[in-house]
Amino acid sequence: MDETHLSQLISLLAMAAAVFAVRTPSSAQTITFAEEQTGALPKNFESALTGQGQNGRWEVVDDATAVGGRALAQLDADSTDYRFPLAIIGSVNAADVEITARFKPVAGKVDQAGGVVVRFSDPNNYYVARANALEDNVRFYRVVAGRRQELASANLRVALREWHTLTLRAEGDRFAVSFDGKLLHITTDKTFTAAGKVALWTKADSITHFDRIEIKPLPIP
């Protein structure tokens, strides 16, 4: 093979490698809090707020029923109704992604909710699936310019002070929500298509614990 053909082959292989790298998703990860310091927000997390009221107080707490004996909790009981504290996971930025969180609603008079977020671009624009033990339902919303818009809902038992799992899978314009391993609803929506962060979410005065988060970036078709 002459030098010209060899150079062309190397260029083609480099282009193929670049395409493969772009189309290969980041590795899946599982986040737990057993090794994190109590009383503080874990590394790679940041707090944000949609709506009004106090910012969330997110801290790692001891919880004997949690994986590894510790959980991440939202502890501020500000009862402002349109208040949505978020804990954003800084290590993920993806459009097609699945997030599953194990959560336990602990208390709340206005709400007893826990949720998971995908395609977060800022505190006013994202998708969220949330379960509410006070209302006994699981709903899927888009948040556009700070306003929630309900896209799907299912009524079912969400027990207070018990651990549950909530999954939100975003793939193109298709969003699937599962609760305790059971698929509840599939929705199509094209409002947000770009890559974004994933996050944990609560509402109003909800005191909620989260102890295991599984994040799976999905292959690009």
**Residue 33: DSSP 8-state:** -
pLDDT mean over 72-98? 97
Confidence of residue 219 (pLDDT cuts 50, 70, 90): confident
Residue with the two structure tokens 């109590």: 38
Residue 194 is given by DSSP the state S
- Return the structure tokens found at 92: 């993920």
To which H or E segment does residue 119 belong?
strand 113-122
**Looking at residues 33-45, what average pLDDT do you find?**
96
What's the pLDDT at 14? Answer: 43
Please check the confidence at residue 37 and state whether its pLDDT lies above 90: yes
Mean pLDDT over all residues of the chain? 91
Task: Look at residue 140 and tell me whether its pLDDT is greater than 90.
Answer: yes
Alpha helices by DSSP H, listed for 35-132, are none
Residue 9 has pLDDT above 50, yes or no: no
Domain ranges across the chain? 28-217
The answer on pLDDT for 16 being more than 80 is no
Residue 148's pLDDT band (cuts 50, 70, 90): very high
Bigger pLDDT: 109 or 91? 109
Question: By the 8 A CB rule, do 147 and 51 touch?
Answer: no
What's the CATH architecture for 28-217? Sandwich (2.60)
Q: Name the residue type at position 63.
A: D
Q: How far apart are the first and last CA of the chain?
A: 35
pLDDT, greater one: 91 or 83: 83
What number of other Cβ atoms are within 10 A of residue 81's Cβ? 12
Q: Rounded CA gap, 48 and 124, in Å?
A: 10
Is the pTM of the predicted complex or chain greater than 0.85?
yes
pLDDT score for 221: 60
Partnered with residue 29 across adjacent β-strands are 215
The separation between CA 221 and the C-alpha centre of its own chain, rounded to angstroms, equals: 22
Give 3's pLDDT tier (boundaries 50, 70, 90). low
Q: Tell me the pLDDT band of 25, cut-offs 50, 70 and 90.
A: very low
Mean pLDDT of 198-204: 98
φ/ψ of 12, rounded to 5, equals -65, -40
Mean pLDDT score, 185-201: 98
Give the span between the Cα atoms of 178 and 115, in whole angstroms.
Answer: 12
Distance CA 172, CA 188 (A): 9
pLDDT tops 70 at residue 160: yes
Q: Say what the pLDDT of residue 8 is.
A: 47
Closest to 75 (Cα-Cα) out of 50, 55, 57 = 57
